[in-house]
Amino acid sequence: IGLCCGSRGRGGANSAVAHYNSTTGEINLTRDKGDGFLAHEYFHAIANHFGATGVGANVDYSEFVGAAVKSGQDTPEQPNLGNLRLDLQKSFYNLMTAILLEPQDSGPDVEMNLSKYTNVSPFVLDAQKLDSAYGKSNTPYYASHAELFARGMEHWLANRLEENGQKN
C-alpha cells in the first residue's frame, strides 16, 4: 500500500479528503483534511487485498461478500466466497452480516446466532437516507457494501482507540 499526502487528484468544492485507488494500491490523503480518514481508506485497501487474493480480480471483497449475505445463497457455515481460507471467509461473512443486518429480536444468545439477523440494520438505513439526500439513490455510494464496510471498521477502530485514550 502506498501513502500519498496531497499529491493526487484535484482540489476544489466537493473534492474527496481521502481516497484509496485500488488500481495503484495508493491511499491519498489531502494536505489539510485527509489525515483523520486513514483508517477508513486502509480498510478499503484490506477489502481490495482480499478481493484480489480470494477472487483473483481487482474487486472489493466486502462488495462480493455483502452480495452473498444479501442474497442468502451462502451461509456462515458453508461459504463459497473465493479462494481464501475457510475461517477467513466465515469471519468476513459474519462481519458483513453484522454490518448489513440486525437481529429480529433480542436475547442472551442473539450475538452468537447470526441466523437471527434478518432485518436491515439502522446503519444501512441511515446510509440509504444519505444517498437519497445527495441524489445517489440509483447508484448508492454511502449504502454500497464497500462504504458500509470501511465506515463500520473505521468506527470500530475509533471505539477501540477511545477505550485506550487514543484518537485516529
- Looking at the DSSP bridge assignments, the partners of residue 4 are 28
pLDDT value of position 131: 93
What distance in Å separates the CA atoms of residue 119 and residue 97, rounded to the nearest whole number? Answer: 10
Name the pTM for this structure: 0.86
**Taking a C-beta distance cutoff of 8 angstroms, is the pair 131, 141 a contact?**
yes
Residue 61's pLDDT is 94
Q: In tens digits, what is the pLDDT along the chain, a chain of 168 residues?
A: 888 887 766 666 667 778 888 888 898 887 666 556 888 999 999 999 999 998 888 889 999 999 999 887 777 677 788 889 999 999 999 999 999 998 887 766 666 677 788 899 999 999 999 999 988 878 899 999 999 999 999 999 989 999 999 876
Give the whole-angstrom CA distance, residue 166 versus residue 6. 25
